[in-house]
Amino acid sequence: DAGITQSPRHKVTETGTPVTLRCHQTENHRYMYWYRQDPGHGLRLIHYSYGVKDTDKGEVSDGYSVSRSKTEDFLLTLESATSSQTSVYFCAIRTGLQSTDTQYFGPGTRLTVL
Amino acid sequence: AQSVSQHNHHVILSEAASLELGCNYSYGGTVNLFWYVQYPGQHLQLLLKYFSGDPLVKGIKGFEAEFIKSKFSFNLRKPSVQWSDTAEYFCAVNAGNNQGGKLIFGQGTELSVKP
């Protein structure tokens, strides 16, 4: 599992509340990613990080922000949760600096926004 | 924009049947190709990947995939499926380190294997 943990694993929240999801890795990989998984869409990239304090947007970044103050932690924040953000969120790390290196995924966080 | 298409949304097979799942991508340049599997309630696991060399790639659990550049395809195959192969399968592609080497995923194919 490449030493990736996500917390919480399940969360139910209400529309308009802020939510922060945490991804933690134990192997000091430089690249980390947040994807969301929705039926019929596969996984889509929200944000990624290529180092401490170095982050950039993915294809579905609206309504999300990220932070990476330490190599091992990559936080995803929903500033004001909406029902359209109900999804399963996966964190991933890439084992090297090359695009051919494998991305390994965490166990996921199931988020429900009521 | 890059895209990945998996034409089979749900495939139902009996044990010992052969499997082929289609994957087509749209991108004219050099790509890296991946197949991931997601067993029920679990995270994605890498089955195999291709980035250069022999276009026939062998992965874990008896899976293989063939890259056909002229057809922009990377189909997944297994000669004889087992009940334990029941899962969702995702094809993914990246094109270098654009956007951090993000993976573009297909919609997924759900495979159900009947015992």
Mean pLDDT score across all residues of chain B: 93
Mutate which: B43, B91, B94, B107, vs A, most A CBs within 10 A: B43
CA–CA gap between residue A98 and residue A82 (Å, rounded): 35
**CATH class for the region spanning A4-113:** mainly beta
Contact A102 B107 (CB under 8 A): no
pLDDT digit string, tens, across residues B5-50: 998 899 999 999 999 999 999 987 788 999 999 999 888 999 999 9
Contact B43 A31 (CB under 8 A): no
In angstroms, what CA-CA distances link A60 with A35, A45, A56, B22, B52?
Answer: 9, 6, 12, 26, 30
Of the two residues A8 and B2, the one the predictor is more confident about is A8
Is A38 a residue whose pLDDT tops 70? Answer: yes
Instruction: Give the closest residue to B55 by CA, choosing from B40, B73, B81.
Output: B73
Please compute, for residue B67, the number of CA atoms within 13 A of its CA located in the half-sphere on the CB side.
21
Contacts of A40 in chain B (CB under 8 A): 107
The answer to whether B85 and B113 are in contact (CB under 8 A) is: yes
pLDDT digit string, tens, across residues A15-37: 999 999 999 999 999 999 999 99
pLDDT digit string, tens, across residues B57-96: 999 999 999 999 999 999 999 999 999 999 999 999 987 7
Give CA angle at A26 (A34, A13), nearest 5°.
40
Contact A100 B51 (CB under 8 A): yes
Mutate which: A100, A101, A102, A110, vs B, most B CBs within 10 A: A100
Is A1 a residue whose pLDDT tops 70? Answer: no
pLDDT digit string, tens, across residues B40-55: 988 899 999 999 999 9
Mean pLDDT score across all residues of chain A: 94
Token pair of B37, please? 């599997």
pLDDT digit string, tens, across residues A42-90: 899 999 999 999 999 998 999 999 999 999 999 999 999 999 999 999 9
Instruction: Give backbone dihedrals phi and psi of A74, rounded to 5 degrees, phi first.
Output: -135, 115
Concatenate the DSSP letters of all residues of chain A into one string. Answer: -TTEEEE-SEEEE-TT--EEEEEEESS--SEEEEEEEETTTEEEEEEEEEETTEEEE-TT-TTEEEEEEETTEEEEEESS--GGG-EEEEEEEESSSSTTSPEEE---EEEEE-
- Fold of domain B3-88: Immunoglobulin-like (2.60.40)
Of the two residues B21 and A41, the one the predictor is more confident about is B21
- Domain parsing of chain A, residue ranges: 4-113
Contact A42 B107 (CB under 8 A): yes
Task: State the average pLDDT over residues A96-107.
Answer: 89
Give CA angle at B10 (A92, B85), nearest 5°.
65
- Domain parsing of chain B, residue ranges: 3-88
pLDDT of res. A97: 84
pLDDT of res. B72: 94
For chain B, what percent of residues have pLDDT higher than 90?
79
Instruction: Give backbone dihedrals phi and psi of A60, rounded to 5 degrees, phi first.
Output: -130, 55
- For A43, name the nearest residue in chain B, comparing CA atoms only: B105
The number of beta carbons lying within 10 Å of the beta carbon of residue B51 is 16
Is A114 a residue whose pLDDT tops 80? Answer: yes
Partner A contacted by B29 (CB < 8 A)? no
Contacts of A45 in chain B (CB under 8 A): 99, 102-103
